[in-house]
């Protein structure tokens, strides 16, 4: 994705997956684990390719909307499904993905907002997370001024980054995932005030205990499922390269033929002069 026309990145915002002020003694069989937090950084957004001048006007672009773990982290131990709600002009606009890669690739002509709903596995015990991705097909005027007009080679990327924070995770989730994940960074962050804690921390618990806030990062498992659309681009790029190579060979052949024709003509002139 390195050769993108635009990359719009929204900086991380903490997300609330459950209402705040949950009493963690609310479920005796599956209580919340105090003093614990699981942070899962995700990326979501859209990548769009213009299909060129010859493309059908209703299918001028091919695009992919996706949710994935940052640094290719595996989300499948936490996520049960990702639902993408497309524009009603698409056949079966509600697309449910139950395994990675969580992405939908389509062709179309227009931009719209895509609703994303992340459902967590039952053991996580949290509410659904709702996000919105802006499908962008056409670069803005300032982007055109900066990087030139749209080409079939450069995708237009809109990527957002978010951290799913599971504050005081349920025992079932802690046993299955949190406990087994290696902690790589644990830092005290005393700057957040209590109110921010209350509003933004997912996973209940209320947060405002006056203590310093601990930020923990984990070594996440890599996701084995590779993005299908990335493979598609690579194929397309390879085909374009092949086409370019063929074009170069064809041009070289034409140049050689022309040279031969000129040399033959010169030879005939020389032969004529010798005979004279």
Q: Which residues bind ligand SLL (CB under 6 A)?
A: 58, 87, 89-90, 108-112
The whole-angstrom separation of Cα 72 and Cα 93 is 27
| 79 CB-side CA count, 13 A | 27
CB of 80 to ligand SLL, least distance (A): 28
H or E element, residue 38: strand 37-50
Min dist. Cβ of residue 57 to ligand SLL (A): 10
User: Least CB distance from residue 202 to ligand SLL, whole Å?
Assistant: 32
Q: How far is the CB of 135 from ligand SLL (least distance, A)?
A: 8
CB nearer to ligand SLL: give 87 or 236: 87
Q: What is the CA radius of gyration of the chain?
A: 28
Please say which residue, 106 or 127, places its beta carbon nearer to ligand SLL: 106
- Please, which residue, 92 or 142, has the CB nearer to ligand SLL? 92
Strand (E) or helix (H) holding 56: none
Residues 6+ apart with CB under 8 A from 43: 66, 67, 68, 69, 70, 159, 160, 161, 162
Contact in structure between 97 and 133 (CB atoms under 8 Å):
no
Residue number, 61 or 68, with CB nearest to ligand SLL = 61
Cα separation, 100 vs 225, whole angstroms: 6
Structural tokens at position 7: 């990359």
Q: In this complex, which beta carbon is closest to ligand SLL, that of residue 53 or of residue 182? A: 53
Return d(Cα 120, Cα 79) in angstroms, integer.
4
Residue 85: both structure tokens together? 């709600």
Q: Least distance (Å) from ligand SLL to the CB of residue 89? A: 4
Nearer to ligand SLL, 65 or 124 (CB): 65
Q: How far is the CB of 193 from ligand SLL (least distance, A)?
A: 40
Enumerate residues 6+ apart whose C-beta is below 8 A from 125: 27, 30, 170, 172, 173
Smallest gap from residue 48 Cβ to ligand SLL (A): 11
Which residue has the CB atom at the shortest distance from ligand SLL?
A: 108
Q: Which two tokens stand for residue 138?
A: 């056409």
CB of 229 to ligand SLL, least distance (A): 17
Instruction: Give whichever of 108 and 207 is closer to ligand SLL, judged by the CB atom.
Output: 108
- By beta-carbon proximity to ligand SLL, the closer residue of 109 and 250 is 109
Distance separating alpha carbons of residues 56 and 53, to the nearest angstrom: 8
Query: What is the Cα–Cα distance from 262 to 254, expressed in whole angstroms?
Result: 12
């Amino acid at each position: 994705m390195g050769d993108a026309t635009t990359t719009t990145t929204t900086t991380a915002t903490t997300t609330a997956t459950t209402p705040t002020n949950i009493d963690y003694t609310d479920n005796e069989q599956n209580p919340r684990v105090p003093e614990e937090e699981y942070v899962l950084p995700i990326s979501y957004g859209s990548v769009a390719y213009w299909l060129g001048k010859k493309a059908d006007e209703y299918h001028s672009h091919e695009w992919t909307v996706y949710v994935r773990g940052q640094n290719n982290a595996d989300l499948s131990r936490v996520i049960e499904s990702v639902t993408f709600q497309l524009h009603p002009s698409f056949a079966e606009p509600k697309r449910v993905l139950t395994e990675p890669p969580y992405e939908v690739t389509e062709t179309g002509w227009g931009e719209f907002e895509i609703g994303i709903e992340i459902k967590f596995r039952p053991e996580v015990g949290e509410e659904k997370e709702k996000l919105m991705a802006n499908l962008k097909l056409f670069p803005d005027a300032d982007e055109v001024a900066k990087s030139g007009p749209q080409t079939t080679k450069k995708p237009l990327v809109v990527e957002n980054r978010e951290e799913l924070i599971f504050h005081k995770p349920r025992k079932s989730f802690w046993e299955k995932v949190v406990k087994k994940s290696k902690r790589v960074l644990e830092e005290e962050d005393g700057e957040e005030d209590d109110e921010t804690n209350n509003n933004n921390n997912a996973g209940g618990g209320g947060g405002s205990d006056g203590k310093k806030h601990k930020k923990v990062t984990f070594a996440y498992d890599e996701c084995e499922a590779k993005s299908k659309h990335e493979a598609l681009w690579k194929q397309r790029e390879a085909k374009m390269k092949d086409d370019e190579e063929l074009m170069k060979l064809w041009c070289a052949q034409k140049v050689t033929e022309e040279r031969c024709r000129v040399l033959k003509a010169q030879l005939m002139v020389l032969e004529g002069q010798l005979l004279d």
